[in-house]
Amino acid sequence: MPTTRTLLFAAAAITLIVGLSARLFPYLPGDIAVAKAFQEASPGTEWVPPMVATASPPAKYFLMAIALLGAWRLGGERALLVVAAAIALEQAFGESSKLLFGRPRPSRELVAVMGNPTGLSFPSTFMTLYSVTVGALFLLARRLKPSAARIALRLATALVLLIAAAARIVPGAHWPSDAFGTPLILLSWLEVAFSAAGVKANL
């Protein structure tokens, strides 16, 4: 495993690159093509509202509970504390952090847009929540001993994160660089926190 210092530098670099890109550009090269590919590949849009609803009460509390229980089971009390702190920070500052970047929502002149999304586009607060819950379990699974359970957990959490990202890209609520850039930043800092806290596999 990389040292905490190395992880810290990597997280800072990722945050700087992704954050500046979101601040300076309304969308990145490839965003339009990737968004259209997701929209064309999606089996309709009926699945989007129920998926998005998982980030609102009461469903989001169930998601948080799973993350906290999973963190404790996989990494013990230290992992539980890191994930609890991450969730608290996300709930307190996730939405207001959009003001740091000021990136506009995708334009319906460029991609299909469902409804009338309001507010700013980066970071995706849907993805901030999924990053500190499902994403945290994805990272903790890396610390498990090689086994079929480890592979299954990593694949399952990666799939859920992909579906979550698609739920924001398919309706045109966020650019792909929003949906994937958000967890890239948060997971890099979660890895720093797990390393600094000395989290090790509990299984």
Compute how many other C-beta atoms are within 10 angstroms of the C-beta atom of residue 59: 13
Q: Is the pLDDT of residue 109 over 70?
A: yes
CA-based nearest residue to 190, from 116, 107, 105, 133:
133
The per-residue pLDDT for range 144-197, each reduced to its tens digit, is 888 898 899 999 999 999 999 999 999 999 999 999 999 999 999 999 999 999
Rounded Cα distance, 170 and 155, in Å: 22
Percent of the chain with pLDDT over 70: 99
- Judge whether 85 lies within some domain: yes
- Judge whether 132 lies within some domain: yes
Question: pTM higher than 0.85, yes or no?
Answer: yes
Say how many domains are in the chain. Answer: 1
- Judge whether 175 lies within some domain: yes
- Judge whether 203 lies within some domain: no
CA-based nearest residue to 144, from 74, 70, 77:
74
Residue 89 · residue 158 · CB < 8 Å: no
Which pLDDT score is estimated for 146? 87
How does the average pLDDT of the chain come out, rounded? 96
Q: What token pair was written down for 83?
A: 């994930």
Domain span at residue 136 reads 4-196
- Judge whether 28 lies within some domain: yes
Helix (H) or strand (E) holding 48: helix 48-52
- Judge whether 201 lies within some domain: no
Which pLDDT score is estimated for 203? 66
Q: What token pair was written down for 177?
A: 């660089």
Rounded Cα distance, 88 and 27, in Å: 29
In DSSP notation, 59-94 reads HHHHHHHHHHHHHHHHHHHHHHHHHHHHHHHHHHHT
Q: Is the pLDDT of residue 143 over 70?
A: yes
Which pLDDT score is estimated for 125? 97
Which pLDDT score is estimated for 134? 98
Q: Is the pLDDT of residue 20 over 80?
A: yes
Query: Which residue's structure tokens are 């009390």?
Result: 77
